[in-house]
Structures are given as structure tokens and as C-alpha cells.
Structure 1
Amino acid sequence: MSCDVMSDKRQRARIQGSWAKQLPKRSGPTGAASNNYQPNNANAASGSWGSGPQKTSKTFEFYQPTKPIREVPTEKVIELAGDYEISHGPSGVSRLRLLPGFLPPEEADWMFSKLLAELPWSQKTNYRQGEAYGEPRLTCWYGELPYTYAHSTMAANTQWHPLLVTLRQAVEQVSASSFNSLLCNLYRDGHDSIGWHSDDEASLGAKPTIASFSLGDTRVFSLRKQPPPEDNGDYTYVERIRVPLSHGTLLLMEGATQDDWQHQVAKEYHDKGPRINLTFRTTFPEPDRHRPGTKMRFVAKQP
């Protein structure tokens, strides 16, 4: 190849090179990309990438919940004779008084057999959400006034059995209270029961004293405290008490017990014999709700 041809090629290469644009130089380190996580944020930068002031990436922290963990209280058991203040609240003091052996065994045996055979036991029909159901126990009522609960009324009955009159007098003496009515319950076996409730009907007045006397097989009498308003009816974390009521035992519920507590006798499916429970109480005439302007007024009835 002649010298003139080689010179012509070099000249054309210089002219073509003068048209090419150089790529901007990248500052900073080269090589493999970093393993550090970078937030997906256009304003964030790392190392020497980009220009302008650099910002630190946000730090994410985990916070423990501030709501305290609540524990379910241990159920308490009351078995020994004595007076028990089970709660203090805005409604007042709630009290239980337990008197095991209120009647000696021989007398309790004789009374149990007489009442089981001679009281007018029947199964009451109650109503729940408009549907009728038979109570899972037998009952009878004594008192000059009718008694209504669970949307069903028991008629007045002034023909007290003589044994009940004698027993009422003994209960009034030890409780320093007077009673003019009596609800009798017969639990035929462990399948009979009564659900959670309070004896807070208007006819019983404010803070009633209820005297509960038991004959026959032992059954567990359970109580649970009413939940505070912020729990919206949730009974999970309330206080609970268990009281085994044996043959011849008297239990008094006083003060704010019916305001602040509920009670029940739950089913016990193992072998259980019959049990009679007699609950002495004082009832008052209820106001005439059909007369305009009538205010609630309780007038004590003498027994």
C-alpha cells in the first residue's frame, strides 16, 4: 500500500473521531453492587452516587403494644362458716353469710322427706325471645303477692305449709330480717339447673336480703361479678366464687349482692340426688304502670 493511501485513511479517522461524543465519567467506586437495602425513595442517596447533600435512610422500630395483658382471676371457694364481704363498689358492699349445719342432720333429713312429698311441685313455663320453655327444675311459690320473673307469673299463695312457717321464723331470727314470701326449687337430679341471673326484680325492692336454705344432695352455688361498663358485657375477666351448699346449710345474700353479682346452679352430669332449695325474700306491690303519672313506690307487706 502506498504512503498516500495510508495518509488518507488516518486523516478520515481523525475527522470521524471529532464527531463522536464522550460519555460522562461516573465518579465513585466500580464493581459489584452493594448488598445493603436502600429505601425506595427518590430523595435518598448512598455513597457518592448523584450530587447534592446526602440524606440518611429512615430507621424502622418495633413497638410493643401498650394495652396490658389481662389475666383471668382464680375462682375463690367459700366453704367455712362466716361473714364474707365479697366486693365494695358504687352500689355498696356485697356480703355473704354462710351457716353450714343450720339444721342438724336428723332434723334436716325429716324436713327434706316431708317437703319433697307434700309441697305442690310443678314445672313452670318461661319465655325467652318469645319462645316458651319448661324450667329445668320444679317450683312452687308462697306469698300474699304474685311473683313474676322470666316473663312468667306465679300466682299468690297464702296457704303456707306448717313446716315452712316454722322454718321461716328460725331464718328470720338468725338473719335479723323479716320475710313474707318464699320461692321453692326442686332439683330432681344433676340435669336440673338454674342459669345466670340476679334476684333484682322490682317487686323485691332495693338491695334485698335473700335467705337460701338447702336440703338434700350438695350442689355448687356459683357467683360471678358484673363486668365494668367498658367490658361491654364480657364476663371473661370477672371475679368468681364457688360455694358448695350441703344438706341443712343456710346462705344469706345481703347488701349490693343482687346489684353487682349474678349467681347460678349449673348442671352436674355425674350422679346427683334430689335437692330442695328454699329462698325466703320480701316482696312489695309493684306500681300500676297503666295509670298515667304513677311513680314507683314500694310499701312493705307485713308477713
Structure 2
Amino acid sequence: MENKRKRARVQGGWAGSIHNRGASCAASGVSNARNEELESATHYRVRRDKKLPSEQQFVFKAPEEVVRKAPEPKILEKQGLYEISTMPSGVSRIHLIPGFMDLMEADWMFEQLLQEIPWGQRTHVRQDESYDEPRLTAWYGELPYTYSKLTMQANHHWHPLLTMLKDRIEDFTKNTFNSLLCNLYRNEKDSVDWHSDDEPALGRNPVIASLSFGATRTFEMRKKPLPEENNDYTYVQRVHIPLDHGTLLVMEGATQEDWQHRVPKEYHSREPRINLTFRTMYPDPEVLHP
């Protein structure tokens, strides 16, 4: 009997111990869960304070607008040899010589040319409408000259003054010329539009020597756009050259291939201007451009 009571006490002790351990474990589980909750909340607060990487990267910025401006034209007035561009076709050069002719000599020559050159006005046809070229011209040389789909017959007998000027320019430039286009701008309303002197009969990279008399007019140049520009001249490089009385301008290299030029209308000069452009014509362009 005594042994039974001892076994009961032992079993009761075990039973009580197991019960207490279960309660303890339950309490410990609640405590651990509470601690994990607090740690999780603390960790969340830290992460929220630091911001998630995804939140830092997701910031909207309006795209910057790219503004493309047309370049200001470069103005050339001083004497010098200028390389205005370098392209696969070659280097484009212009040589500017203000005062190439003495002032008093230039005055006398201007009057002689104005009175004695056989000036004429050509008529163009565009879209079944005819219009007069806004200047007077004369052509000297061995061959006729065709531009803008019209042909000028050559004056074979050069005026002695033109021959003298040709010899002087040839001596200066070390080039020979056999043809001459004379232009008379009667007033500020006369002009010539954008073009290049690139007719096949002039050969590749022709040298054009331009001598001016009379009123100062601005000679404008613009670079031909690259193929990807789709013939848009808005943003191309430009050069402006005031051509004074007695000034010589020589264009050479790839200038005619890569650039255009013009003399625009102006509204401040009512005096006439004469421009002589010496060049070399070839009788068989097929030899030069096979």
C-alpha cells in the first residue's frame, strides 16, 4: 500500500511537472511572438525611414527639350586665305583681297565697264511663266555658257580692259582663265539667287576669281546640308562677305561642290555694282566627268 502511494506521488509529480512546462512553453511562445512582432515593427520603421531602393529609383523627371539654333553667319572682311570647310570632297577655300585695285583706278574702270560692255537681260521661263533676270549680264570666252537651262553665246573679242584685268588676276592667282561672266546690278533690287558654279564644263573644283566695282554688296555663302538633313538649310554654316569697290574674291578647292552663294536684294544702296567672274571652260566635259 505504501508502495502504491509512492507511485501515485511520483506520477502526480510528473503530471504536475508536465502541466507546468506546458504553461511555461505557452507563455514563452507568447513572449517570443511578441518579441518578433516588435522586432519586425522596428525593422519596418528603419526600412521606411531609409526608403526602399525601388522607391528611390521611381522619380519622374520631365525630358529636357533639346533646342537647336541656327548658327550666326561668320562675317569675313579682312584680307586672308580662309578654309571654310573640310569634307570628303576636299577643302573649301576662299581668298579675300580688299583693295586689290587702287581706288582711283577702280573708279575709272567702273565707268569704262558700265558704258562699254554690251549688257543684256536674259528671260527665264518657270512653270509656263516668263520673267526677266534681275540683273544684266555679258559673257566672254571661246565657248557658249549654259546655266539655268539657258545658253549665252560668247563674245570672242575681249574688251582691252577685260584682257588687262584677266592678265593681272592670272599673275596674282597663278591660274589661267579663258572665260568671263560680267554682271551688272543696276540698283539694290537686282540680285542673284542661291546657286553653285558647278556646271560640268567648268571641271571639278574650279577656281572662280570674282572682281567687284561700285556699290558694296554682301556676298552670302551657305554650306550644302548633309544627306540626312533632307535638303534643309536651316542649320547650315553660313558666311557673309561685304564686297567693296576694287575687292577680289577667289573661290577654290571644293567650294562649288560643298557650298552655294548668292547676292540678295538690299534696301540701302541705290548705286550700281559690276562684278566680273573669271573662270575656265573646257570644250569636252565628258573627259572631265566620265
TM-score by length of 2: 0.77
Q: Distance in 2 between matches of 1:171 and 1:129?
A: 40
Runs of at least 4 residues of structure 1 off by over 6 A? Answer: none
Q: Which runs of 5+ in 1 are unaligned?
A: 1-58, 288-295
1:297 counterpart = 2:287: yes
- SS for the counterpart of 1:297 is helix
Displacement after TM superposition at 1:68 (Å): 4.2
Q: Distance in 1 between matches of 2:73 and 2:204?
A: 28
- SS for the counterpart of 2:131 is strand
Aligned length: 233
| Structure 1 residue identity aligned to 2:133 | E
Q: Distance in 2 between matches of 1:75 and 1:194?
A: 19
Q: Distance in 2 between matches of 1:261 and 1:109?
A: 31
Displacement after TM superposition at 1:123 (Å): 0.3
Displacement after TM superposition at 1:270 (Å): 2.2
Q: Deviations over 1:45-99 (max 9, x none)?
A: xxxxxxxxxxxxxx8946516x843221111100000100000011100001001
Q: Whose radius of gyration is greater, 1 or 2?
A: 2
Alignment of 1:28-47 (within 5 A): none
Preserved contact between residue 180 and residue 276 of structure 2 (Cα < 8 Å): yes
| Structure 2 residue identity aligned to 1:297 | V
Q: Deviations over 1:158-203 (max 9, x none)?
A: 1100000000000001111000000000000000000011001111
| Structure 1 residue identity aligned to 2:223 | K
Q: 1:199 aligns with which of 188, 197, 200?
A: 197
Q: Distance in 2 between matches of 1:153 and 1:281?
A: 16
- Name the residue aligned to 1:116: 114
- SS for the counterpart of 2:232 is coil
Q: Distance in 1 between matches of 2:81 and 2:173?
A: 12
Q: Distance in 2 between matches of 1:297 and 1:271?
A: 44
| Structure 1 residue identity aligned to 2:251 | M
1:95 counterpart = 2:93: yes
- Name the residue aligned to 1:70: 68
- SS for the counterpart of 1:111 is helix
| Structure 2 residue identity aligned to 1:204 | L
Q: Which runs of 5+ in 2 are unaligned?
A: 1-57
Specify whether residues 255 and 130 from structure 1 end up closer, same or farther in structure 2 by C-alpha distance, changes over 3 A only: farther
Q: Distance in 2 between matches of 1:196 and 1:113?
A: 28
Task: Give the fraction of aligned pairs with identical amino acids, expressed as a percent.
Answer: 58
Name whichever structure is richer in helix by fraction. Answer: 2
| Structure 1 residue identity aligned to 2:239 | I
| Structure 2 residue identity aligned to 1:232 | N
Alignment of 1:184-263 (within 5 A): 184-263=182-261
- Name the residue aligned to 2:162: 164
Q: Distance in 1 between matches of 2:251 and 2:126?
A: 27
Preserved contact between residue 215 and residue 269 of structure 2 (Cα < 8 Å): no
- SS for the counterpart of 2:287 is coil
Specify whether residues 234 and 268 from structure 1 end up closer, same or farther in structure 2 by C-alpha distance, changes over 3 A only: same
Q: Distance in 2 between matches of 1:286 and 1:63?
A: 61
- Name the residue aligned to 2:42: none
Q: Deviations over 1:26-48 (max 9, x none)?
A: xxxxxxxxxxxxxxxxxxxxxxx
Considering only aligned residues, what root-mean-square deviation do their CA atoms show, in Å? 1.8
Q: Distance in 1 between matches of 2:127 and 2:197?
A: 20
Preserved contact between residue 202 and residue 286 of structure 1 (Cα < 8 Å): no
Q: Distance in 2 between matches of 1:226 and 1:175?
A: 26
| Structure 2 residue identity aligned to 1:118 | E
TM-score by length of 1: 0.74
Of stretches 107-116 and 131-140 in structure 1, the one that deviates more from structure 2 is 131-140
- Name the residue aligned to 1:145: 143
| Structure 2 residue identity aligned to 1:64 | P
Q: Distance in 2 between matches of 1:298 and 1:91?
A: 16
Specify whether residues 202 and 131 from structure 1 end up closer, same or farther in structure 2 by C-alpha distance, changes over 3 A only: farther
Preserved contact between residue 100 and residue 249 of structure 1 (Cα < 8 Å): yes
Q: Distance in 2 between matches of 1:122 and 1:132?
A: 16
Displacement after TM superposition at 1:271 (Å): 3.2
| Structure 2 residue identity aligned to 1:242 | H
Alignment of 1:262-277 (within 5 A): 262-277=260-275
Q: Distance in 1 between matches of 2:201 and 2:128?
A: 23
Q: Distance in 1 between matches of 2:131 and 2:102?
A: 37
